[in-house]
Structure 1
Amino acid sequence: MNNFKFTTQPLKETKSAALFLLSAALFAGCSSKTDSSQNTADVKSDEGSEQSTIKLGVTGAIYEDIWQPAKDKLADDGINLKFVQFSDFSTPNNALNSGDIDLNAFQHEIYLNTEKESQGYEIEPIGYTFIIPLNIYSSKYKSLEELPENAVIAIPDDLTNGGRALKVLDEAGLIELDENADFSPTVKDIKSSDKNIQIKELKANTLPSALPDVDAAVITGNFALDYGLKTEEAIYKDQSLDQPEYWCLIAARSEDLKDPDKKAAYEEVVEAFQQPETEDVFNNDFGGYFIAEGWNE
Structure 2
Amino acid sequence: MMKVIKRVALAISITLLILSLAACGSKDSDKSGSSETVNLKLGVVGGIYEELWAPAKNALKEQGINLEFVQFSDYVTPNKALNSGEIDLNAFQHRIYLDNEIKTNGYKIEKIGNTFIIPLNLYSSKVTSVKDLKVGDTIAIPNDVTNGGRALKVLEAAGLIKIKKSAGFSPTVADIESYTVGIKIKELAANTIPSALADVTAGIVNGNFALDFGLKTDKAIFTDTSLKEENYWNLIAARSEDVQNADKAAIYKKVVKAFQAAETEKIFKEKFGGFFIAVGWDKDLLAK
TM-score class, shorter: 0.7 to 0.9
**Which has the bigger relative contact order, CA under 8 A and spacing at least 6?**
1
CA contact under 8 A between 1:151 and 1:195: conserved in structure 2?
Answer: no
Report the counterpart of residue 195 of structure 1 in structure 2.
181
Q: TM-score, normalised by structure 1?
A: 0.84
Deviations 1:124-152 (CA, angstroms, capped at 9, x unpaired)? 00010000000000000000111121211
Aligned equivalent of 1:248, options 234, 237, 241:
234
Aligned equivalent of 1:180, options 153, 166, 171:
166
Aligned equivalent of 1:52, options 38, 63, 81:
38
Q: How does 1:40-189 map to 2 (within 5 A)?
A: 48-50=27-29, 51-189=37-175
* TM-superposed deviation, 1:48: 2.8
Letter in 2 for 1:196: G
* TM-superposed deviation, 1:99: 0.5
Deviations 1:224-268 (CA, angstroms, capped at 9, x unpaired)? 010010001100000110000000000000011111110000011
Deviations 1:199-233 (CA, angstroms, capped at 9, x unpaired)? 00000000000001101001110000100100011
Unaligned runs of 5+ in 1: 1-46
Moved beyond 6 Å, runs of 4+: none
Higher Rg = 2
Aligned equivalent of 2:253, options 262, 267, 286:
267
Deviations 1:251-288 (CA, angstroms, capped at 9, x unpaired)? 00001111111000001100000001001001111111
* Mapped partners of 1:240, 1:111: distance in 2: 16
* Mapped partners of 1:194, 1:69: distance in 2: 46
Letter in 2 for 1:220: N
Letter in 2 for 1:248: N
1 or 2, which has the higher helix percentage? 2
Q: How does 1:30-49 map to 2 (within 5 A)?
A: 48-49=27-28
Secondary structure of residue in 2 paired with 1:141: coil
Secondary structure of residue in 2 paired with 1:107: coil
Report the counterpart of residue 224 of structure 2 in structure 1.
238
| Count of residue pairs the alignment pairs up | 252
* Mapped partners of 2:199, 2:281: distance in 1: 39
* Mapped partners of 2:99, 2:244: distance in 1: 20
Letter in 2 for 1:194: T
Report the counterpart of residue 296 of structure 1 in structure 2.
282
CA contact under 8 A between 1:115 and 1:121: conserved in structure 2?
Answer: yes
* Mapped partners of 1:115, 1:167: distance in 2: 23
Letter in 1 for 2:78: P
* TM-superposed deviation, 1:194: 1.8
Secondary structure of residue in 1 paired with 2:226: coil
The CA RMSD measured in Å over matched residues stands at: 1.0
Secondary structure of residue in 2 paired with 1:213: coil
